[in-house]
Amino acid sequence: MSRIGKLPVAVPQGVKAAVSGAVVSVEGPKGKLSFSVRPGVKVELADGKFVVSMTGSDAQAKADYGTTRATINNMIKGVSAGWKKVLELHGVGYTAKIQGKNLVLAVGFSHDVVMPIPDAIKCTVNKNIVELESNDRELLGTFAAKARDVQPPEPYLGKGIKYSDEKVRRKAGKTGKK
């Protein structure tokens, strides 16, 4: 039994929530999100709280039980406060800029890397810092991970794209002959 799945998810003031069949939808000041619940899991809205329960007893239902509760919690946080990821570019000549609806990264390749920004993500660039904001945590995390994977930080010089709260383990370089 999932310890996370048992906890009810409270719906804060200013957020509208609804369950219709297997679709959970929430709407708040930051936008609107919906989620399809997988078979084996049931979601109910009672007294301003989402309550998740298992209807199946197979391994997949047990796995989806806690995940469904966490996803609903992330949706509510997203439409009320929003999610934010900050990427930092480290390296000589590493720059980022926004051209139209694209994020253009110049990170040491012979060409610029052009990444289309999804409509649900708001992107701002300030020198070598890229700030990403969205109400959808999954979409935001996926886009940030793809941007980081363009040039991940390397352990010797620390060059690359990293999250602002990420610690890059540095390695000592070669030592000279004595």
The whole model's pTM is what? Answer: 0.89
pLDDT at residue number 158: 87
For 141, the token pair is: 């995390």
User: Which domains does the chain show, CATH number per domain?
Assistant: 3-80 (3.90.930.12), 83-163 (3.90.930.12)
> Between the CA of residue 91 and those of 2, 95, 127, 133, 153, what are the distances in Å?
44, 9, 12, 24, 10
pLDDT at residue number 178: 66
DSSP string, the chain: --HHHHS-EE--TT-EEEEETTEEEEEETTEEEEEEPPTTEEEEEETTEEEEEES--SHHHHHHHHHHHHHHHHHHHHHHT-EEEEEEEESTT-EEEEETTEEEEESSSSS-EEEEPPTT-EEEEETTEEEEEES-HHHHHHHHHHHHHHSPPPTTT--EEEETT--PPP---PPPP-
Burial label, 169 (beta-carbon count in 10 A; 0-12, 13-18, 19+)? exposed
pLDDT at residue number 63: 87
Beta carbons within 8 Å of 146's beta carbon, 6+ residues apart:
115
Model pLDDT for residues 50-98, shown as the tens digit of each residue:
999 998 888 898 889 889 999 999 999 999 999 999 999 999 999 999 9
pLDDT at residue number 160: 95
Mean pLDDT of 22-39: 93
Mean pLDDT of 23-35: 94
Model pLDDT for residues 116-173, shown as the tens digit of each residue:
999 999 999 998 999 999 999 999 999 999 999 999 999 998 899 999 999 999 998 8
